[in-house]
Amino acid sequence: DAKTTQPNSMESNEEEPVHLPCNHSTISGTDYIHWYRQLPSQGPEYVIHGLTSNVNNRMASLAIAEDRKSSTLILHRATLRDAAVYYCILRDHTGANSKLTFGKGITLSVRP
Amino acid sequence: KAGVTQTPRYLIKTRGQQVTLSCSPISGHRSVSWYQQTPGQGLQFLFEYFSETQRNKGNFPGRFSGRQFSNSRSEMNVSTLELGDSALYLCASSLGQVGRNGYGYTFGSGTRLTVV
């Protein structure tokens, strides 16, 4: 499976934007980039995914580098409820091997 | 609409026993996956089912098995429980066929299994 590399932790101030980076230099052409987050005592929660173009939804934005070797999850205004572990995952969309391979993720702390 | 429902939420079993966990996916979702989460190993993929067929399997011993019913509900079974099987077991469902079109997964809150 193609691997992703993320920093172990990041801190942010409430109501400020947060940029969470992810490196995936071995990404293949059929891999989607998925982001999930896991709040304490809950299962992971889907945040966003993309293939080549930048993506926006109500939760976040995903900026994908032109060479697709890295991406950034952007939370436009962090709230205390955004404190969680954020996972960047590559997922082969062809059906050959579609499991989600979770790394250790980024632990995001939000300061009030 | 209702989310992914896992039952029971908590379970305590003795070594050597077997256990069955249940997962009801979101209505209309036909793909169901199972994951094990432990502090040491993190989230690890167990298996995935689509249309009652196992489509993908992780690196777990044969003591771990699962199945999916015609209504997409899924169960996983662990036989001959070991202390190391203590974990949070998570179920996730997805709308699309396995791997197609990059569909996201919706996870349940999990079943916390403790083996004593």
* Average pLDDT along chain A: 90
Predicted confidence at residue B56, as pLDDT, reads 85
pLDDT tens sequence across A41-76:
889 999 999 989 899 998 899 999 999 999 999 999
Predicted confidence at residue B86, as pLDDT, reads 97
Predicted confidence at residue B96, as pLDDT, reads 67
Confidence check: pLDDT of A32 > 90: no
- Tell me whether residues B108 and A97 touch, CB distance under 8 A: no
B109 touches chain A (CB under 8 A): yes
A contact residues 37-96, partner B, Cβ 8 Å cutoff: 41-46, 49, 51, 87, 91-96
The sheet carrying B74-78 orders its strands as B5-7, B19-24, B74-78, B64-68
Predicted confidence at residue A98, as pLDDT, reads 61
Q: Which residues contact A67 (CB under 8 A, 6 or more apart)?
A: none
- Tell me whether residues A99 and B56 touch, CB distance under 8 A: yes
pLDDT tens sequence across B31-41:
899 999 999 88
pLDDT bin (cut points 50, 70, 90) of residue A96 is low
Distance CA B22, CA B26 (A): 13
Indicate the residue of A45, A49, A97 with minimum beta-carbon distance to B102. A49
B33 touches chain A (CB under 8 A): yes
